[in-house]
Amino acid sequence: MRRRFRSRTVGAVLAMALVATACGSGDSTDGDPIAVSSFNFNESTIVAEIYAQALERAGYTVERKLNLGNREVLKPALETGEVDLVPEYVGTINSFLGGTPTADSQSTWEEAKELFEELGVTLLDYSPAQDKNAYVVTAETAEANGLVQISDLSDVAGDFKFGGPPECPEREFCLQGLVDVYGLNFGEFVPLDAAGPITIAALEAGDVDVALLFSSQGVIAEKGWVLLEDDMGLQPAENLVPAIRQDVIDEYGSALSDLLSEVSGKLNQEDLTEMNKRADIDGEDPAVIAGDWLDDNGYEDNSDS
């Protein structure tokens, strides 16, 4: 971790600075292990593995601390240097840091980046792939009621059952937002789990007409369900983005940040959804899924070269 790097003696630091100057301003892959972590769900673990394996293939030393917990655990871990790199979501981290996220990815990222840099953490370039709250209906329900956008629910909401996590009625980006932004008043709210197997089973069985899922869940495409377009921009942007300690960038130089930003830029929505399907539905190992994605996108293993 970088804490070990900062604790070295002044003489050792000076010597390293001279070596770095001679070798190209810190763009060597030699240095402290980079501690890569993730939240405790498959998507986060897959993306963390993509970052970790990309770094390893480029010759960096990586330490994994995956499935560490929720944001209340990982944010202070980043600040203290217990972990160095975490795949984040621009809208959620923006809000968590006290900002005001919107549906615009760029402005949401800029505000979150500024807020995080005050804590010694920076956000690199974000991915086009997002994972946000999604309002989903079956294909049969969509066809029978002409549903394409969330606003199309206005004529039928009173007759529909809406299913989501128990806290949904009080959340601004869940049922509260559907009321405030779209003016939707459902006939009944059914408390379920957070886009998990209970919600999936309820929608499939017809126990609810509309369900809150997450936009990158593989089950949506697997079952041919319809993700309603958020035509009034209720949900903030939730692009995946590498959150990394600034002193890691200072130690390793721009080659490391350029690599991670390049990887993020290649991660698209279709790939993310397919990888989630492989993990959540097919039960495949996130590390294998990540390695396959890197192979498919031309990241060769140069760690021994």
- Going from N- to C-terminal start, the domains of the chain cover 2-130+237-296, 133-227
Residues 99-153: tens digit of each pLDDT: 999 999 999 999 999 999 999 999 999 999 999 999 999 999 999 999 999 999 9
Looking at the domain 2-130+237-296, which fold is it? D-Maltodextrin-Binding Protein; domain 2 (3.40.190)
pLDDT over 70 (residue 248): yes
Residue 231 · residue 205 · CB < 8 Å: no
243 contacts 199 by C-beta, under 8 angstroms: no
Residue 157 DSSP symbol: G
Average pLDDT of span 201-209: 98
pTM metric for this prediction: 0.83
DSSP type of residue 63: E
Please check whether the two domains, 2-130+237-296 and 133-227, share a CATH topology: yes
CATH topology of domain 133-227: D-Maltodextrin-Binding Protein; domain 2 (3.40.190)
User: What is the dihedral sign for C-alpha 87, 92, 96, 99?
Assistant: positive
- 83: burial class by Cβ within 10 Å (0-12, 13-18, 19+)? buried
Q: Region 276-286: what's the mean pLDDT?
A: 95
pLDDT higher than threshold 70 for residue 19: no
The confidence score (pLDDT) of residue 220 equals 95
Distance of alpha carbon 212 from alpha carbon 168, whole angstroms = 9
Provide the pairing of β-strand 210-214 with 161-164.
Answer: parallel
- Euclidean distance between CA atoms 279 and 289, whole angstroms: 8
Work out the average pLDDT over 57-73. Answer: 94
Residue 259's pLDDT is: 97
The pair phi, psi for residue 61, each rounded to 5°, is -95, 130
> Which pLDDT score, from 0 to 100, does residue 301 have?
84
Calpha distance 85→215 (Å, rounded): 24
